[in-house]
Amino acid sequence: MTKQDIQRIIGSSIKAIVRNRDSFVDFPESIEVEVPKRREFGDFSTNVAIVIAKKLGKKPREVAEVLIQNFPKEADTLFKKIEVAGAGFINFFLRDEVIIEKLKEINRLGVEFGKSDLGGGERVIVEFVSANPTGYLHIGHARNAAFGDSLSNILSAVGFDVTREFYINDAGRQIELLGLSVYRRYQELFGFEVNMPEDGYYGDYIRELAEEVKEIKGDSLLREDESRAVEFCKEYAKDRLLEEIKKDLAAFGVVFDSWYSEYNELHRPLNRFGGKSRIEFVMDKLRQAGAVEEREGALWFKASDFGDSQDWVLVRRDGSPTYFLSDIAYHYDKVERGFKRLINVWGADHHSHVSRLKASFKALGLDDSCLHVVLIQFVRLMSGGEEVSMSKRAGSYVSMREVMEEVGRDVMRFFLVMRSSESHLDFDLDLAKKESSENPVYYIQYAHARIGSVFEKARERKLFPSDKHLNLLTLPEEMDIIKKLIAFPEIVKESALSLSPHKLAFYLQGLASDFHVYYNRTRIIVEDFALSSARLYFINCIKTVIKNGLGLLGVSAPERM
């Protein structure tokens, strides 16, 4: 029994009411069905009678009564009671046998429980992390990675055809500064006194890269034209750092389907565009749309004509394209590749970029509603109540690798998705290393492992789960947990549609807490063989849901702890 089942029953009743009226009544666009916070208000509740009362010219409570009278016969087999409450809310109380029967569905579906065809195979591209290959990934990138990968898992689970993409920012000033920084450190290795570029890179990893260049090239770059020497250092450093980025992400459980090079895909001339680059092609389309204007030697996008608050530079006075123009071309290509939904996971500092990008969609004649941007707030790494902000090797930040080595992948991933992306996150290193109920991911994993240990004891006594006596599950806490298990597919759908993996993390914390309370109060293995087999069947369903949920968040479900 899901919210959709309730909505279907209500919808059938509304259609019956409309058929019995002479005049047409608009069908509500959506029927809101909620799970009440208080048990006395039932298992499900809807305000639909209040919503449609005015259209029917009746009081909400009268409409609620009429709706109940027109429910299909199926309702009698599903609900032990349906009542009208308050201003006209309809509360539904499920029959116990209907609730318990759902355990069979969980057991039958196993790893598939929680999945659905909500997305209908729609092609979705989720672009996340997309860090400049100028250094190691830091804790902020890690939050972006955990969020993007978990969201991709969840979207796939509800039937979307998901592509994970990393956009490689391998063109522009930052990459040039990387090459120059490495070359200067390379010169230092031969005793030269150098001036590092003002906005260059200073971490120990730059010296390490320079030493690698020395091993490969010896002193030959000193005899090269400097621009060619810097170019070599740039390409070598970029490729090496990208290799390290891929290594860190793989260790974090994140594997991309596509690595999209800004330089190769956007800046290089392509035959399909008649020898023009993709950036030049898109620039021509913006000109044709009348969306470009020259001002003081630069070319501007007239974003204010398309809903933005101001205009933006596309091509600088020196003829070089801005990052914004590259981004327009990149997103135009996403649409050209056939993706129907474009999801970008960006840092919160990109807030102003969203409206101008949507304006560019309008200028190019694209539907900007296909673009969904999730802004990830900043992370502070805390230890002993104080912020940890420096790393000797990386320079000005703590690398993702360092944190992962200290707390482990599972803890790191869960901690980084257990809060809304809109909330700033304090990552507590001390809490992350605790193996106690204070640590939320440990608490959830321990519930899974605890069930595993119960099954070991059951096997020793030759006891096995069975669905033959599920009617013996009569404790109120058993009913409450089963209702929570039943809600799992809905939680996955809600997490997908709202782009909010933290909802799933919150759900798992609640389920684990309910199980631990139940376990501490109730003996699973008792003298009554039938009751033992029913409770084993019940907790195995809990184990299934915990494992499935953790899997969507990229977190393991250990059998022993």
pLDDT of residue 25: 56
For residue range 414-430, list pLDDT tens digits in order.
Answer: 999 999 999 999 999 99
Class of residue 220 by CB neighbours under 10 A (exposed 0-12, middle 13-18, buried 19+)? exposed
CA angle 395, 401, 403 (to 5 degrees): 90
pLDDT for 26:
61
Q: What pLDDT does 391 receive?
A: 54
Least reliable range by pLDDT among 20-24, 120-124, 129-133, 488-492: 20-24
Q: 341 with 151: CB under 8 angstroms?
A: no
258-296: burial string, b at 16+ Cβ within 10 Å, e else: eebbbbebbbeebeeeeeebbbbbbbebbeebebbeeee
Q: What percent of the chain has pLDDT over 70?
A: 97
* 21 vs 157, residue with greater confidence: 157
Contact (Cβ atoms closer than 8 angstroms) between residue 515 and residue 559: no
- pLDDT of 392: 47
CA 205, CA 393: separation in Å to the nearest integer? 6
Give the 3-state secondary structure of residue 192: coil
Token pair of 540, please?
């195995």
Q: Which two tokens stand for residue 24?
A: 């047409």
Provide φ and ψ at 168, rounded to 5°. -85, 110
pLDDT confidence band for 1 (50 / 70 / 90): low
Strand order across the 425-428 sheet: 386-387, 379-383, 425-428
Question: Is the pLDDT score of 4 beyond 70?
Answer: yes
At 423, which amino acid appears?
Answer: S
pLDDT tens per residue across span 12-58: 888 877 776 544 556 566 788 888 888 889 999 999 999 888 877 88
pLDDT digits (tens, 9 = 90+) for 182-237: 999 999 999 999 999 988 998 889 999 999 999 999 999 999 999 999 999 999 99
User: CA dist 140 to 31, 397, 408, 411, Å?
Assistant: 39, 10, 16, 16
DSSP letter string over 2-58?
-HHHHHHHHHHHHHHHHHTSSS--PPPS---EE--SSGGG-SEEE-HHHHHHHHHTS
Q: Stretch 452-469: mean pLDDT, rounded?
A: 96
Classify residue 266 by its DSSP letter. I
Q: Which residues pair with 425 in a beta bridge?
A: 379
Indicate if the pLDDT at residue 390 is higher than 80. Answer: no
Separation between Cα atoms, residue 432 and residue 335, nearest integer Å: 41
Instruction: Write the pLDDT tens digit of every residue in 539-550.
Output: 999 999 999 999
Average pLDDT, the chain: 93
How many C-beta atoms surround the C-beta of residue 216 within 10 A?
A: 11
pLDDT-derived band of residue 3, with 50, 70 and 90 as boundaries? confident
Closest CA to 92 of 28, 39, 56: 39
Residues 314-341, mean pLDDT to the nearest whole number = 96
Low-confidence winner among 56-65, 357-366, 432-441, 513-522 (lowest mean pLDDT): 56-65
The residue behind tokens 């029967």 is 101
pLDDT of residue 376: 97
**Rounded average pLDDT over 137-147:** 96
Contact yes or no for 557/489 (Cβ under 8 A):
no
Report pLDDT for 31: 85
Mean pLDDT of 104-109: 97
